A and B are shown apart, each in its own frame.
Chain A
Amino acid sequence: EAEVAQSPRYKITEKSQAVAFWCDPISGHATLYWYRQILGQGPELLVQFQDESVVDDSQLPKDRFSAERLKGVDSTLKIQPAELGDSAMYLCASSFQTGYEQFFGPGTRLTVL
């Protein structure tokens, strides 16, 4: 069964360091989403891609966060520099097209010390 892959599963870093997360969506899925889930809260959309184009990054803190999906397949989310408040689960999801069911990966749990 096709799944969304994410790595690493866990990341511990110190404040002011740079971190990067990787996501490989289900093959053939054109739409890719990055969500952030703070402990005790529901996920919140950070950025949505349609193929290689960003269609929604209104909630992405652009001073420190960046996201890319260069060939319209896998994607990388970067934080530089990391802050204590960035500690969270970062979830990647993909769907066949916008509006279709979203399938979630296992997430990357980030701890910033």
Chain B
Amino acid sequence: AQSVTQLDSQVPVFEEAPVELRCNYSSSVSVYLFWYVQYPNQGLQLLLKYLSGSTLVKGINGFEAEFNKSQTSFHLRKPSVHISDTAEYFCALRGSGNTGKLIFGQGTTLQVKP
């Protein structure tokens, strides 16, 4: 079975500080990994994705993530956050087979304080 665990339910941080949102996954097959952001009462927006190649992937809004196969992790980072980054963040995986199903973690609420 495949699963995603987001290690922090809430992450409070001050504006302009760096942040890391942690994500671990479990899968017996190769996976593709994603980070999505969700603002209140809105759908999900893709931040970045790892499909293959370089383990450091860059996304929109200054976010980046590093795929670590040995530690089965895909942590999201941003060197300096803004108030507007306050949102819910979801890590997700998709099996490399012929399936579109995304399996999501429980979400991490990023609270950026002035």
Contacts and interface: CB of A to CB of B under 8 A. Distances in A.
Pairing of A with B: yes
A106 B92 CA distance: 18
A33 B43 CA distance: 13
B98 A98 contact: yes
Interface residues of B, number: 21
Contacts of A95: 100
Categorize the interface residue count of chain A: 20 to 34
A43 B44 contact: yes
Contacts of B90: 42-43
Given A42-B90, A42-B105, A98 B41 contact: no
A88 B97 CA distance: 29
A63 B4 CA distance: 28
Given A41-B107, A42-B106, A4 B43 contact: yes
Nearest to B105: A42
Contact of A99 (B41, B100, B105): B100
Nearest to B49: A101
Given A91-B43, A91-B44, A42 B101 contact: no
Nearest to A6: B43
A45 interface: yes
Most buried by A among B45, B101, B102, B104: B101
Contact of A105 (B41, B43, B99): B43
Contact of B104 (A9, A43, A106): A43
A15 B4 CA distance: 33
Contacts of A107: 41-43
